[in-house]
Amino acid sequence: MYLCPQMQEYPSILLSNAVDCFASLPGVGRKTALRYVLHLLRLNETDVDHFADTLKQLKHEVHYCHICHNISDQEVCSICQSHHRDHHTICVVETIRDVMAIENTGQYSGVYHVLGGIISPMDGISPKDIEIDSLVDRLATQEEAVEVILALPTTMEGDTTNFYIYRRLQALMEAGKSIRVTQLARGIAVGNDLEYTDDLTLARSMANRVEFKA
C-alpha cells in the first residue's frame, strides 16, 4: 500500500503545528521541517524560549532606515549615518541581501537605496508598491551632483524597473538636477569559460566590448 507523503500522521498535534510552521519557510519541505522540530525538542527549554523570543524581538523591534530602507537597529542605518561614505553615490538595489552582497566586496563606499522589490506585473508589483517615490524625493532634495547606480537583477523585471526609474529621474534632470545614471557592467563572469556562457550574455559582451587595458 502506497501512502502519499501528505497523508503522514504525526503522533502529536503540537508536533504537527510546529512542522507546519517550519514547512512555511522557503525551500523547506515537511521532512526537513520535522528534522528541525525534532532538533528543537532535544534542546532544553531555555534554548527553545531563546529561539522563539529572538524571532519575536526581530519582528517587533527591527527598524527600516527612513533614508535608504535598509534594515537597521535605529531610525537611520549606520551606512546613511557614516561620514566615511560618499553620500553623492546612491546604489539602487532590490533587497537587503543585495546590500550585504555589495558590502561584502569591500569595494563600494557610497550609500544605498533598497527598493524592497522590482516591478513585476505577473506578481502584481507596481511602481507604487516599491520605494521608487522615496528615491525620487530623496534625489529632488539633493543640491549637489549625484550618481545613481542601478544594481537590479539582470532579468526582464529588473530591466523594466531600471527603465521606469530612468524615466522618473529624467524629469528631475530636465528640471535642472545634475544626476548621472549608471548600471553595473554586464558580461562574462570572472572565472567563467566562454563555452559555458549563455548565448545572450556572450552576444551582449561582444556588442559592448571595451578597450583593452594593459
Applying CB under 8 A, the span of 40-48, 120-128, 145-153, 204-212 interacting with a copy of itself comes to 40-48
C-alpha cell at 100: 550585504
Amino acid of residue 2? Y
If binding is defined by CB under 8 A, does position 81 make contact with a copy of itself? no
Q: Which is nearer to a copy of itself, 92 or 169 (CB)?
A: 92
Q: Are 148 and 170 in contact (CB under 8 A)?
A: no
Shortest Å, Cβ 68 to a copy of itself: 10
Q: Which of 3, 194, 207, 210 binds a copy of itself (CB under 8 A)?
A: 3
If binding is defined by CB under 8 A, does position 145 make contact with a copy of itself? no
d(CA 53, CA 59): 10
d(CA 78, CA 81): 5
Q: Which of 107, 143, 175, 211 binds a copy of itself (CB under 8 A)?
A: 107
If binding is defined by CB under 8 A, does position 9 make contact with a copy of itself? yes
d(CA 30, CA 37): 10
C-alpha cell at 129: 508598491
Nearest-10 crossing angle of helices 30-42, 13-23: 120
Interacting residue ranges for a copy of itself, rule: CB under 8 A: 1, 3, 7-15, 17-18, 20-21, 24-28, 32, 34-41, 43, 45, 48-63, 70-73, 77-79, 95-97, 99-100, 103-107
